[in-house]
Structure 1
């Protein structure tokens, strides 16, 4: 089966994620994490990328980045290859560090909430994974862009762009009051049940309005032909089906696990399916 084409265009916004090979750790200590962040900074200098959000987890990473030029593939090749080489040299290892192809979800960034949802998903990862205690603030997790968002601009990494995410929260200025408001909102979001909001991020190839999705499908079709176009349409249909199931579960007040334990062929299970 042919590989799916990476969707690239100037100004594209992506949620990028990749795991360690065999789900193994991609960082052994904080020196590795610091080296990863420094390599990301170098990549931004080489490619012109604008990083909006990042988070380093034990065996994977998340990036929300924008490509002013259509260069996601070239940039990721250099970034992953360079970090892998540095990691292997430091630990006297060889071979693959990352597993397969990285996931690149195209995000609609027109100010209608999709960037906000993706940024929340990434910034809340350490809390969901219990990498910080329940009483600790999100900024207690060092290896995320979230602590950088709370800092004043003069103390923040200059390659991290925060203005678009602030705008998604209707915060016009990167001020003390604005940053406090942002932190309060995200801490409140942390305490709510928002897992179903993130299904399209975990499963889909595009996160945006239907019109935005159709435009991307037309781009893919023009470049690769009907075969790939059909594959992307299939993914679109699957994402829609998952959304409908999630809505029905919510209406019934069920969790996903509740559906799994019911016997095959149960009327209520068939109705949802």
Structure 2
């Protein structure tokens, strides 16, 4: 069976779906779902992504994600591997969590109503699957693990920064204010009652296309994608040939330069005090797509496994090397703010 086309370019928007291995659950409790959403947020920070919509089901998830830097594959690899490690760690499990490759359908987002139909499709998933059975007002918005409830129904201060609610509402001619957010939720609830969760879309092909197609858009959009496929830069390279994108390396270098200035490092960073190297490793891991192997080599932290251990200790607030480092708290604030 041929593998799905994977097209990447700056500004591309995708409908991403990933399912558990052999149909198994990928979320066992609400804490798992919280862990996954935190991991999505980290992936967005690392890759500059914006998420227009999401829904978490028992054995799969849907994301509508925009990649301003054309880096879906790199980000998805990190997202799924990181969540797998965290889930296995929570439940003393091992092995793969996800089944076949995630599906990623590129979506026309510049007009035609395709993105709007896709957001509806994702938000209505709990109705189509039978998880939300009631057609009463508020039933769908009461499903907590969807961006409808956790994003579009609440004020900006109550939702994650990576969720592009304001931009999503604008696609429907609405503003990010209480009255318009209420209208959006009511509109989606009405769709659930009227259609049972089914979405036709601009060309009446949403259901089959979003399940089996490779793009979601107009014929003109399809032609644009086919032209991109003829350019080597638009094709996904074989895994063995993949390398860090130049812009990702520049971003990593910018963080290294900031760390040098903040901690007063001169010369080879690998010979800097341990606290500075650990702090820089944490920033690179949190804010860039650089591999742990590259971070280890650059900062003299021996191995990728050691980098993972150091970063985990920082996240847990238990790293001894940072306990007496006066500049750590200001660095932590700078990194979390994204500089």
Which TM-score bucket, shorter chain as reference? 0.7 to 0.9
Comparing both chains, which one has the higher relative contact order based on Cα–Cα distances under 8 Å and sequence gaps of 6 or more? Answer: 1
The offset of 1:187, in angstroms, is 1.0
Alignment of 1:95-244 (within 5 A): 95-134=95-134, 135=136, 136-147=138-149, 148-171=151-174, 173-193=175-195, 195=198, 197=200, 198-199=206-207, 200-223=209-232
TM-score (norm 2): 0.63
Q: Distance in 1 between matches of 2:54 and 2:14?
A: 12
**Per-residue CA distance 1:20-50 (angstroms, 9 max, x = gap):** 0001100111111110001001111111111
Which range is displaced more, 123-132 or 25-34? 123-132
TM-score by length of 1: 0.78
Q: Note if contact 2:148-2:185 (Cα within 8 Å) is conserved in structure 1.
A: no
Give the RMSD, CA atoms, in angstroms. Answer: 1.8
Distance 1:60 1:2, change over 3 A: closer
SS in 1 for 2:152: helix
CA distance in 2, matches of 1:160, 1:105: 19
Contact 1:5 1:224 in 2 (8 A): no
Shift of 1:165: 2.0
> Which residue in 2 is equivalent to 1:267?
none
Per the alignment, residue 76 of structure 2 pairs with 76
Deviations for 1:54-112, whole angstroms, at most 9, x for unmatched residues? 11000000000000101000000000000001111111111111011100010100132
Structure 1: tracts of 5 or more residues without a match? 226-273
Task: Classify the secondary structure of the residue corresponding to 1:65.
Answer: strand
User: Aligned to 1:138, what secondary structure does the other structure show?
Assistant: coil
Aligned to 1:245: none
Secondary structure at the counterpart of residue 144 of structure 2: coil
Structure-1 separation of matches of 2:219 and 2:85: 40
